[in-house]
Amino acid sequence: MDETVGASSSLRPGSLTFVEVLATSIALIGPSMTPILIAPYMFANAGNGTWLAYLFGAGMLVVVALNLNQFARRFTGAGSMYEYAAENLGPTLGALAGWSLLWAYLFVATAVVGAMSLFVGLLLHDAGILAASTPAIYVAIAVILGAVCWQAAYRGVQVSAIVMLVLEAISVLIILLLVVIVLLRHGPALDPSQLTIKGGVPNWGLAVMTAVFSLVGFESATAFGAEAKRPLVAIPRAVIASVVFASAFFIIATYAEIVGLEHAAKPLDQQTFPLGTLVDLYNIGYLRVPIAIGALFSAFSVCLACITTAGRIAYAVAKAGLFPRALAAIEPRHNTPHVAVTLITVVVVSIAGASLAAGALPIDVFNNCGTLSAFGFIVIYAAISVAACLYVKRIGAMRWIDVAISVLAVLLLGVPAVSLIYSVPAPPQRWFGYYFVGFMVIGWLWFSRAASVSARGRDNDQPAGDAKREEDDKNPDA
């Protein structure tokens, strides 16, 4: 094994344990968000077979994780997914892969800012503080919580990881308690109706795409290679463990939701707060407020993880000279990429705030921005799968199983990719693909120009270097 660590950086080395790295990945997945907000949309596409779609999505992303770990067990650094692609696909294609990853993290963060606004509005309404939430109130909530996330990310990823671990653990434990109650009252018999997929192949593709959105974030551990203890061991383990843990939680939770809501007045796809309905049906209303608070915690931890991770991606691209150098600045007290983190936060809060101010509901911000993020994740996962095959070939370690895993990952990623364009959705989703293509074209133009400027700079430096060597030859005693 070629255990070489990436180039040194000014980030704080060895500051994150395996548990903290794993916490970051799990927090960015945001397990609590799926049974609360994503499961109803998932059920609308897959019906009782929702958990099967999660099982397929989990298998697909485990294959992607195996490709990712071809790098993670040999090389780590800040913003590693971008670095993995750049080293093996070339600077321009690698930068485009990082560009797509920034898109993905930005829109996941924006989506959960919408979710946070929704949960805070619900809690304030239930407490009798607000009769109804207005766009101005939603915008204020988004700005305040965005500022809190920025402060935590600015002060240091170690603090952020601890906060994310605690918040997400509390939320998951509350939901698991509800799941256990539902399954115990249902009895040990399996539900045979949950072995079918609703609507055939098109709906299956949409369901898997939603599963991808639920599970994205497992790769975020690779962005902390410069700060993890024993990164060549901790990061590969965190990548696989986060996929397995989140998938198991999703499968069990959605199975319990479908069983528990079987005789409810409204099916799962028509529920706005399905876990709230479950606690009412099972006469455990004392869990309603804790679940809502836990959902808020989960959304907050996802937003925080996105900001910290996206900041490190921008930092790595800036260090390569493809973004303005200011984004590579490190805050001397906390050793964090504070300029990149600040810019990411401003963009996220601006998109969410503008959407809410224009009258969009928080749930619409969550759904639309979550769908937008899927484009970026599919591109970066496919890029990593191709780069992994090229990498093991370059270092002379390629086996037939490595090629098979890379090809399988690309083929499986085609399922959600095709589902995004298979049918023509209603506006605004109809335009999402065009937005992403436009974003990638802008990135290609920017990075091509940056690479050209860098090449001209090297050419201009070469004659000066040759002249200096000639002068040294004439004056050997200089």
Q: What angle do CA 57, 62, 67 make, to 5 degrees?
A: 130
414 falls within a domain: yes
- Give the orientation angle of helix 200-215 with respect to helix 50-72, to 10 degrees: 50
Tell whether 464 and 356 lie within a shared domain. no
Report pTM.
Answer: 0.81
Average pLDDT of the chain to the nearest whole number: 81
C-alpha closest to that of 40 among 363, 374, 433: 363
Query: So what's the pLDDT on residue 267?
Result: 83
pLDDT of residue 341: 93
Do 373 and 278 lie in a common domain?
yes
What tens digit of pLDDT does each residue of 284-321 get?
Answer: 888 888 888 888 888 887 888 788 888 888 888 888 88
φ and ψ at residue 336, rounded to 5 degrees? -125, 150
Query: Do 47 and 106 belong together in one domain?
Result: yes
Q: Is 308 among the domain residues?
A: yes
Strand, helix or coil for residue 318: helix
| Residues 395, 260 share a domain | yes
Residue 334 sits in the same domain as residue 207? yes
- In this prediction, residue 465 carries a pLDDT of 46
How many structural domains compose the chain?
Answer: 2
**Within a domain: residue 4?**
no
Does residue 466 form part of some domain? yes
Same-domain check for residues 457 and 345: no
- pLDDT the model gives residue 473: 47
Whether 449 and 350 share a structural domain? no
Do 167 and 250 reside in the same domain of the chain? yes
- Asked if 232 contacts 3 with a C-beta cutoff of 8 angstroms, the reply is yes
Residue 415 domain-assigned (yes or no):
yes
Same-domain status, 450 and 361: no
Name the H helices within 73-199: 80-89, 91-126, 135-155, 157-186
Residue 187 and residue 327 share a domain: yes
320 and 202 within one domain: yes
pLDDT at 464 over 70: no
Q: Is residue 156 part of a domain?
A: yes
Give the lowest-confidence range in 15-29, 278-292, 349-363. 15-29
Q: Is residue 257 part of a domain?
A: yes
209 and 115 in a common domain = yes
Domain membership of residue 450 as a residue range: 435-478
pLDDT of residue 309: 80
Mean pLDDT, residues 345-372 taken together: 92
Confidence (pLDDT) at 103? 94
CATH code for position 246: 1.20.1740.10
7 within some domain:
no
